[in-house]
Structure 1
Amino acid sequence: MKFLKLSLAASVALGAFSTASFAQPLEDAIKGIDVSGYLRYRFNSDYYDNGNNNSNSKNTHRWKAVADFKAPVADNVAFNLGILYNNESNNVNHGNTYPGQGSGLGSGKDGSFGVSTFNAVITPDSTATTVIIGKQRLATPVTNAGDDDRGTGILALNSDLEGFTFAAGAFDSWSIDDVHKGYDLGDNLGTSVTKPLYALAGIYGVDTAYGHFGAQLWGFYIQDIVDGLGFGELSWTGSTFNAALQYAIASLNNDAGDVLSVVHPNGNPAGRANIPEANDLFVINLGADFAQEYNVPLDVKL
């Protein structure tokens, strides 16, 4: 592994040593690194939601930039680094008490910048196993890696059995982007959930002449939040059409003093959340993607 060259590259990038003698080591250090990402701008307005009342409308400019760096595998280990800029609170409030003035004025603060992922990926030769250690995106049925859901811990994936993938993960801190603002439960403000999250999964997939058939079963435990959460799915994907059946069941921990009772007290004198402990959900997904078969960029979901 090129620890020396990577360290040297970082020093040159920071301007600590800017002599021509380091040009070749820097070139070697960055050779083979895969870079991917995107830039996105979005303007949101709730003008029509407020009955066309401009005095109460709120307009925001939302900026997001993602850059992921993946180093080549050396001695069965690869390193990943992700940089994220996500500023979605640039309020240009046209109905502000002071006319024409809003927080950010279209640019906003630059505090929403940081490291989104930082991990090592280990792939031994003797087994079809991948172990990811560090800060990583959480791609599970109950989280959304595309929306910056991430955790710090370890995830192991094994595919020694043909068609099967088994997963086990443990994270001591994690964050999701859509929980309640104002609580230390993880959101775009940069806070994280400090309760451990554990996950086990079995995933199966097979390609046939009639399309791809898949199945997956997940189990989760989150200390002081979820005593048990299960998710199952049966799916089929053809050249154009697709369908899926999903079922989820959860046993929530809403004891007094635990996380959910703080977020959802609902005026309960005992301090308990007014949330049923047992919850379940059944979903049917039907869809059609016309891009592959008909070269039409149309994807329909029901």
Structure 2
Amino acid sequence: MKLVKLSLAAAVAAGALAMSASAVPLEEAIKDVDLNGYARMRYTHNNESDKNVHREKSSVWEFKSEVDFKAKIDDNFFGVVGVRFMDRDNGQTFSSSDGVYLQEKNEEDDESQFDIAKAYLGYAIGGTTITVGRQGIGSFFTDDMYGDGVKITSTDIEGLTLIGFWMDSLENDSDIGSLKWKRAGAMAPLGGKLTTDHNLYGVGAMGSYDPVAFQLWYNSLEDVADLFAAELAFNFDISDDFNIGVKGQYAFSDFDKASYGHWNNIPVPPVFVTETDVGDADFWAAEASMGLFGIDLAAGYLRFEPDNKDRASFVSFEDQGSFISPGEQLLDYTNFTGKNHYWYAVAGYTIPDTGIRIGADYLDGKSAGKDAYEAVGRISYKYNEKLSFKTWYSHYKIDGAAGAADEKNDRIRFEAKYSF
């Protein structure tokens, strides 16, 4: 996403010009401005290895904040500007190969950015809102990425939310696995265009009619893929302290295989493969859950795979989207090959009157046809409505095939977040 940046002098000059043209008291200027957002500190440590052939330890500090300013223009029009700050520092990396340890500082991977994450004009009438500009996409197939375009949201029908959007510029988000894809035989991403340079269209319907809830979604990434998803859930509150639920999801992707191939990111110099290495894929999952006197339990099964085990595909465009996604590391719906299926269980207990939850996840199954599992332990603490803390430890292992090394990683994360 291309951003316009002003120098400090230019920003001060622009502000002075605006104030001299139409100065108003501060309290008058902000009386119809709503402020919301968050500030987050996160620390992540990785310890990756494959049968002692290669080991790597790394740590990352991340400081991120997003602040949205919403100004009411009149009874129908409003404007939103959101600023985002992110600073990422990579700590010392210790790596070994054949028993020889190296120590280096990844200063070239440090990252700092300040940008305008949102800038859009909105018009609301009844339960329908139209927004134009840079905004959150909010699709089933995305998490927190932004796009430039038009979105229409309607809640005029009780219990039903309808969404339609068109985005012609997408944020170059690092959680998009297909950013590594290339057009077969070409020397540029997707024949000269990144995945995010293609228009994204979408429609969705979300309904909630107790005890039934559902979602239906269709997205089209122009000249790349069409994505479909459906979710159906039943939730029953037996009493104030006891509830049960079931949820099912199904999704599939339909690719324009004549246009795009897959980028093999391992060899140097790069090696290209044919367009047949991109394939359609499907996903389905079923989950049962229960809450009982502070205990929460969930168990289920999920499966996702391309139409040919040697092809690459995705069902979620950015991050995990709204798909059922237990664990922290093993599952990736944005770029996968082979057969992937898992049984999983999630359990937790919230200590009464403390805001402390202790929990665990466990997954066991196949990753690209190889035996794999992940175990996660979690602790979270909600100090109040605005301040929360969480930490987790995750270990996963994927068995090597035909004598190859096992893939393992241990990850620890701590996070503090203040929302306002």
Give TM-score, length-normalised by structure 1.
Answer: 0.72
Q: CA deviation at 1:220?
A: 1.8
Instruction: Please tell me whether residue 151 in structure 1 is matched to residue 147 in structure 2.
Output: yes
Quote the Cα distance in structure 1 between the aligned partners of 2:178 and 2:282. 23
Aligned partner (choices 278, 281, 286) of residue 284 of structure 2 = 281
Q: CA deviation at 1:109?
A: 4.4
Unaligned segments of structure 2, at least 5 residues: 1-9, 96-100, 183-193, 295-348, 362-420
Q: After superposition, give the CA deviation of every residue in 1:139-164 in whole Å (9 maximum; x if it has no partner).
A: 2222113xxx1222111122222222
Alpha carbons of 1:282 and 1:49: their partners in 2 closer, same or farther (altered >3 Å)? same
Structure 2 counterparts to residues 85-104 of structure 1, below 5 A: 85-88=85-88, 90-95=89-94, 101-103=105-107
Unaligned segments of structure 1, at least 5 residues: 1-9, 186-190
Counterpart of 1:37 in structure 2 is: 37
CA RMSD of aligned residues (A): 4.2
Q: CA deviation at 1:77?
A: 0.8
Counterpart of 1:166 in structure 2 is: 162
Q: CA deviation at 1:193?
A: 0.6
C-alpha contact (below 8 Å) 1:55/1:94 kept by paired residues: no
Counterpart of 1:180 in structure 2 is: 177
Of stretches 65-74 and 291-300 in structure 1, the one that deviates more from structure 2 is 291-300
Alpha carbons of 1:265 and 1:94: their partners in 2 closer, same or farther (altered >3 Å)? closer
Alpha carbons of 1:227 and 1:244: their partners in 2 closer, same or farther (altered >3 Å)? same
Q: After superposition, give the CA deviation of every residue in 1:177-228 in whole Å (9 maximum; x if it has no partner).
A: 412386489xxxxx87121222222222134xxxx53222112222122234
Q: Which has the higher strand share?
A: 2
C-alpha contact (below 8 Å) 1:288/1:301 kept by paired residues: no
SS state of the match for residue 123, structure 1? strand
Quote the Cα distance in structure 2 between the aligned partners of 1:18 and 1:131. 28
Counterpart of 2:116 in structure 1 is: 115
Counterpart of 1:72 in structure 2 is: 72
SS state of the match for residue 107, structure 2? coil
Structure 1 letter corresponding to 2:203: L
SS state of the match for residue 167, structure 2? strand
Count residues with an aligned counterpart.
274
Counterpart of 2:221 in structure 1 is: 222
Q: After superposition, give the CA deviation of every residue in 1:34-75 in whole Å (9 maximum; x if it has no partner).
A: 112222122222236589999832222111111111112514
Alpha carbons of 1:101 and 1:244: their partners in 2 closer, same or farther (altered >3 Å)? same
Alpha carbons of 1:281 and 1:46: their partners in 2 closer, same or farther (altered >3 Å)? same
Name which structure has the greater RCO, CA cutoff 8 Å, separation 6+: 2
SS state of the match for residue 139, structure 1? coil
Alpha carbons of 1:69 and 1:19: their partners in 2 closer, same or farther (altered >3 Å)? closer
C-alpha contact (below 8 Å) 1:56/1:95 kept by paired residues: yes
Structure 2 counterparts to residues 246-285 of structure 1, below 5 A: 246-258=248-260, 261-263=261-263, 271-284=274-287
SS state of the match for residue 29, structure 1? helix
**Percent of paired sites with the same residue:** 19
